[in-house]
Structure 1
Amino acid sequence: MPAVELRLAQGTPCWVSLLTDDLPGARAFYGALLGWTYTPGPGQLGDYVRAELDGAPVAGLGVSTATGFPVQWTTYFAVDDADRTAQLVRECGGTVAVGPLQAERAGRMAIAADVSGAVFGLWQGEEHLGREAGREPGAPAWAELLTPDAEGAAGFYSTVLDRPVRSGPEETALLVDGRPVAGIRHRAELRGHPPRWRTHFVVRDAELTARHTLGLGGRVLVEPHDTARGRAARLADPQGGHFSVLEVLP
């Protein structure tokens, strides 16, 4: 799916961005694994590049300037007004760590955390409107929150993003125009990790991608397995950034 020409509806996951301590290494790894090429991003964001597929942006990669900050992927949600939504985050018990700030002409952004500490971003697109999840290999496929308080998280994101949620047997879905755009899943034990949003990328073959990850110096955290959305695997890049891959069902 190409980059959108109209701003995505509020609450839609519209962008993913990696903060790493080794940008050249991350560029090489994801370029080889997912077929990405790179162009410079907004200068206000420091050493930052946009990853592209066939000339269309799909993700951002930047350098973390915070000492001890973990290498991680961040999911951004489209919003109509980043300043207003950031204030709602605070009113609902979350925190705003960065911004809202202007990223040149690309748009206005903020980085926040929900009541359990899961980090996410807000994006008010201007020249850069973001990208909706799609089915093209290498593109973002799905966003999923793992949290010990799924009910509280569902209420938080529903209020902050002004979108309804739908509870299911395995996860709660955030809805935009009646369709699920992100999942919230209860995990009582997160094995020492804080609550977090998982980033999934489309691949043609989860087994092959897992083997390729090992060959590129990464790790396989969870072997390929069947899920309701397709065959998936949980991986880590050589710098320690966790991500998932997903064979999207027809």
Structure 2
Amino acid sequence: MTEATRPTPGTPCWVSLMVHGLDATQDFYAGLFGWEFSPGPTQLGPYVRAMLGDKEVAGIGRLPADRHLPVAWTPYLASDDADATAESIRSCGGTVGVGPLDADTAGRLVIASDPSGAVFGVWQASAHLGTAVHGTHGTPVWNELLTRETASVGKFYHAVFGYDTKADDSTALDRLTLCLDGRPVATVHGVGPALPRGRGPHWMTCFEVEDVDAAAHRVVELGGQVIEPPGPGSGGRVATVSDQEGAVFRIVRSDAR
């Protein structure tokens, strides 16, 4: 288990979920990951931070009643200057939907989408550095972008965040690894027409669990669904699941543990 330090620009540093039923969603993730909750910034409405002990793990907020947006986990990528990053997003063909704006004294945020339409956040840390613990049950362990093709999308993230992109030459799959200083930080999968109907390109968050099979069973008990049952993955045993509002995420027991 490791604790957070100030994230290098481009590093996935936080994940956040906007839902309709905040109380029910807290119950779901408390039952699955053992999270407790504390109040967070409220610039975008009611918002809580998920905690493991005294360490911040993720955020959950309530969507306005009149907003019928997809319920999905959103990764936030670190920036030393959210305003400059927002300008870079626009100039490289992306769209800025929210911000830049201050989240109390915690930091400054942007919510944007890449040229394919996949939504992500940008976080300029101040008092809040991001996810404060890694590598244990209930913590974000990886982020993956599912999109139509990787070439143009990879160029966008390289231009905005400075990633090196490493193509997977070992298989026929259209897959890129995004790296910072030689360290992998995320994966881009080009899946063409295999994108889920109605979702389009999107980011997917993977959470570490002690036992993938037991966690998948618990998801169903709590009112969620198992979309892809537990099985071997590139980094460990993995399953794709959704919570009671339909937010899709992966649970994994990493081989490195």
Q: How far, CA to CA, are the matches of 1:150 and 1:69 in structure 2?
A: 25
- The corresponding residue for 1:186 is 190
Deviation at 1:13, TM superposition (A): 0.3
Count of aligned pairs: 249
Q: CA RMSD in A?
A: 1.3
1:15-54 correspondence runs (5 A): 15-54=14-53
Structure 2: give runs of 5+ residues left out of the alignment.
Answer: none
Deviations 1:131-175 (A, max 9, x none): 278311100010000000211111100111122111114421111
SS where residue 68 of structure 1 aligns? coil
Do 2:15 and 2:75's aligned partners in 1 also have CA atoms closer than 8 Å? yes
- The corresponding residue for 1:62 is 61
User: Percent same amino acid among aligned pairs?
Assistant: 43
- The corresponding residue for 1:195 is 201
- Aligned letter for 1:134? H
Aligned pair partner of 1:242 in 245, 248, 252: 248
Deviation at 1:224, TM superposition (A): 0.6
Q: How far, CA to CA, are the matches of 2:100 and 2:137 in structure 1?
A: 32
Q: How far, CA to CA, are the matches of 1:46 and 1:203 in structure 2?
A: 30
In the alignment, structure 1 residue 128 sits paired with structure 2 residue 134: no
Do 1:133 and 1:142's aligned partners in 2 also have CA atoms closer than 8 Å? no
Q: How far, CA to CA, are the matches of 1:23 and 1:159 in structure 2?
A: 36
Do 2:2 and 2:133's aligned partners in 1 also have CA atoms closer than 8 Å? no
- The corresponding residue for 1:142 is 142
SS where residue 8 of structure 1 aligns? coil
Counterparts in 2 of 1:52 and 1:235: CA distance versus 1, 3 Å: same
Counterparts in 2 of 1:85 and 1:132: CA distance versus 1, 3 Å: farther
Q: Structure 1 runs of 4+ off > 2 angstroms?
A: 1-4, 131-134
Deviation at 1:122, TM superposition (A): 0.1
Structure 1: give runs of 5+ residues left out of the alignment.
Answer: none
Counterparts in 2 of 1:127 and 1:3: CA distance versus 1, 3 Å: farther
- The corresponding residue for 1:156 is 156
